[in-house]
């Protein structure tokens, strides 16, 4: 997450002015109450529970959760001037807070923490552009208190013992550095959300849906390999393959109107069509790491045609594909439609060295490929491999060039 204008300390005329401290718990006694909406979203309820539970584990003090009463507000037992009101929820977001967040980005997972002292009482407001954003704001607040979740489970959780818990007066805005933040092997949902992972999920992109097709009855729809039709891939230059792919894409978006994209691409593996028409779509660009001609141009041509075919009904929908294997290099002669979204999956390249390592030619090559694609398209993803192929450990992030 990227942070903006946190008010922790001010340098004025050569003097450091420490930020004011707002008490949440003092010597094991509650100095705050959590205020939630009358009809809280499940994520807002979870945010309140997470805050209460962790504070109790830190200090031994369980602070009160007060639910709003329609028309009456929050009925708090203690004098509000003597405690810190911790407002949790998107319904409590002020115009000022929303403007501050949106000035940095509009990702739903973004949030603001506004903590201030005043004569009428101290308050902390935690509001996101979505209930999930509010939950992530609570996790940020807990981290400011010293809580850490280094790995799933109790063994990875660090909660400091504090009889007194304070928060700096602040205006903190955070927006995700990446819209999509996913770890393939992370199965602990609680830990996943504490890490503020989430966002749009990139679609699976192995294969092109053309509905039912029988190689015995319609061999011309399939790849011609060594003079024989095979199921390994489709013959993408065949007009019938294109027509059926357009129909299936439209059907998909009709059934999934909120989906921003459909996954599409070659089947995983080789066996690409060698018919004259498919070969004519290639640019003859040799891939030195795959030791064969790049297949990117033929598939970008095909994706362009599918997007053109669905534009009458779905002009804003996208195609996501794995930029992978022998279709990882950028196209040479076909300009991609800006609605094409590649996800880099450098399965055959080094995954040990960093992108800036001067002695690793594979990473330098990979970086050039990413930069080249970034000049062609507005949105690209990185589905990198962290360890060996045997672990299949990978992650996915999205960035805008």
Q: What share of the chain is helix, strand, coil (3-state, %, to 5)?
A: 30, 25, 45
Q: For 38-92, write each residue's pLDDT tens digit.
A: 999 999 999 999 999 999 999 999 999 998 887 666 666 566 557 899 999 987 7
- What is the DSSP track for 131-185? HHHHHHHHHHHHHHTT-EE-SSSGGGEE----SSEEEE-EEEEEE-SSS-EEETT
Indicate if the pLDDT at residue 395 is higher than 50.
no
Please report the pLDDT score of residue 30 as a whole number. Answer: 94
**For 13-22, 239-248, 296-305, which range has the lowest pLDDT when averaged over its residues?**
13-22
> What are the structure tokens assigned to 371, written together?
């930069």
Would you say how long the chain is, in residues? 401
Q: How far apart are CA 56 and CA 48, in angstroms?
A: 12
Q: How far apart are CA 193 and CA 75, in angstroms?
A: 31
Q: For 149-202, write each residue's pLDDT tens digit.
A: 999 999 999 999 999 999 999 999 999 988 888 887 777 899 999 999 998 888
* Contact assessment for residue 23 and residue 145, using Cβ atoms and an 8 Å cutoff: no
Q: How far apart are CA 363 and CA 361, in angstroms?
A: 6
Please report the pLDDT score of residue 14 as a whole number. Answer: 46
Residue 238: DSSP 8-state: S
Q: How far apart are CA 175 and CA 1, in angstroms?
A: 5
Q: How far apart are CA 84 and CA 359, in angstroms?
A: 55
Residue predicted with more confidence, 110 or 353? 110
Residue 220: DSSP 8-state: G
Indicate if the pLDDT at residue 147 is higher than 50.
yes
Task: Output the CA torsion sign for 338, 341, 346, 352.
Answer: positive
Q: How far apart are CA 179 and CA 201, in angstroms?
A: 10
Q: For 269-305, write each residue's pLDDT tens digit.
A: 899 999 999 999 999 999 888 889 999 999 999 999 9
Indicate if the pLDDT at residue 33 is higher than 80.
yes
Please report the pLDDT score of residue 180 as a whole number. Answer: 85
> What are the structure tokens assigned to 286, written together?
């040799």
Q: How far apart are CA 96 and CA 280, in angstroms?
A: 58
Please report the pLDDT score of residue 12 as a whole number. Answer: 38
Q: Over the chain, what is the mean pLDDT?
A: 89
Percent of the chain's residues with pLDDT above 90: 70
Q: For 366-384, write each residue's pLDDT tens digit.
A: 999 999 999 999 999 888 7
What would the 3-class secondary structure string for 249-304 be? HHHHHHHCCCCCEEECCCCCCCCCCCCHHHHHHCCCCEECCCCEECCHHHHHHHHH
User: Do β-strands 111-116 and 123-128 pair in parallel, antiparallel, or remain unpaired?
Assistant: antiparallel
Indicate if the pLDDT at residue 9 is higher than 90.
no
Residue predicted with more confidence, 321 or 182? 321
Backbone angles phi, psi at 302, to 5 degrees: -65, -45
Please report the pLDDT score of residue 149 as a whole number. Answer: 97
**CB atoms inside a 10 Å sphere around CB 254:** 10
Confidence class for position 347, pLDDT limits 50, 70, 90: confident
Overall average pLDDT of the 338-350 stretch: 91
Please report the pLDDT score of residue 350 as a whole number. Answer: 85
Confidence class for position 389, pLDDT limits 50, 70, 90: low
Indicate if the pLDDT at residue 328 is higher than 80.
yes
Confidence class for position 11, pLDDT limits 50, 70, 90: very low
* Contact assessment for residue 159 and residue 69, using Cβ atoms and an 8 Å cutoff: no
Q: Write down all domains in the chain, each with its CATH number in brackets.
A: 2-178 (3.30.379.10), 219-399 (no CATH)
Indicate if the pLDDT at residue 250 is higher than 80.
yes
Q: How far is CA 203 from CA 134, 259, 282, 322, in A?
A: 27, 10, 25, 9
Q: For 119-141, write each residue's pLDDT tens digit.
A: 778 899 999 999 999 999 999 99
Please report the pLDDT score of residue 278 as a whole number. Answer: 98
Place of tokens 């992972």: 197
**Which residues, other chains included, contact 332 with Cβ-Cβ below 8 Å and sequence gap of 6+?**
283, 284, 285, 294, 296, 297
Instruction: Report helix, strand or coil for 345.
Output: strand
| pTM of the entire predicted model | 0.76
**Which residues, other chains included, contact 307 with Cβ-Cβ below 8 Å and sequence gap of 6+?**
317, 318, 319, 337, 339, 340
Please report the pLDDT score of residue 13 as a whole number. Answer: 40
Strands of 181-254 (E only): list them: 181-183, 222-225, 228-234
Measured CA angle at 287 (ends 284, 292), to 5 deg: 70
Indicate if the pLDDT at residue 319 is higher than 80.
yes
């Amino acid at each position: 997450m990227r942070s903006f204008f946190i008010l922790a300390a001010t340098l004025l005329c050569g003097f450091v002015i420490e930020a004011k401290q707002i008490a949440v718990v003092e010597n094991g006694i509650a100095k705050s109450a959590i205020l939630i909406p009358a009809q809280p979203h499940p994520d807002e309820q979870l945010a309140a529970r997470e805050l209460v539970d962790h504070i109790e584990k830190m200090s031994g003090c369980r602070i009160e959760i007060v639910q709003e009463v329609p028309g009456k507000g929050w009925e708090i037992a203690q004098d509000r001037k003597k405690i810190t009101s911790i407002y949790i929820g998107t319904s409590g977001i002020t115009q000022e807070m929303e403007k501050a967040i949106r000035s940095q980005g509009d990702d739903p997972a973004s949030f603001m923490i506004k903590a201030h002292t005043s004569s009428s009482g101290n308050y902390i407001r935690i509001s996101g552009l979505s209930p999930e954003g509010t939950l992530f704001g609570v996790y940020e607040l807990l981290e400011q208190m010293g809580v850490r979740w280094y790995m799933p489970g109790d063994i990875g959780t660090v909660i400091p013992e504090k009889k007194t818990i304070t928060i700096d007066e602040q205006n903190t805005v955070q927006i995700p550095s990446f819209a999509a933040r996913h770890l393939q092997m992370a199965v602990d949902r609680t830990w996943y959300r504490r890490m503020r992972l989430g966002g749009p999920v990139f679609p699976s992109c192995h294969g092109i849906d053309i509905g039912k097709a029988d190689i015995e009855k319609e061999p011309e729809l399939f790849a011609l390999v060594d003079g024989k039709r095979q199921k390994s891939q489709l013959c993408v230059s065949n007009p019938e393959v294109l027509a059926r792919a357009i129909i299936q894409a439209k059907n998909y978006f009709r059934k999934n109107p909120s989906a921003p994209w459909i996954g599409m691409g070659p089947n995983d593996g080789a066996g690409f069509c060698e018919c004259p028409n498919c070969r004519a779509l290639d640019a003859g660009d040799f891939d030195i790491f795959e030791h064969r001609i790049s297949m990117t141009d033929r598939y970008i041509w095909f994706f362009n045609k599918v997007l053109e075919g669905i534009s009458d009904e779905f002009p804003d929908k996208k195609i996501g594909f794995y930029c992978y294997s022998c279709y990882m290099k950028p196209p040479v002669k076909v300009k991609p439609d800006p609605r094409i979204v590649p996800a880099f999956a450098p399965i055959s390249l080094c995954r040990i060295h960093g992108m800036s390592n001067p002695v690793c030619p594979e990473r330098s090559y990979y970086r050039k490929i990413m930069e080249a694609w970034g000049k062609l398209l507005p949105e690209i993803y990185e589905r990198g491999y962290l360890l060996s192929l045997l672990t299949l450990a990978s992650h996915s992030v999205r960035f805008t060039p």
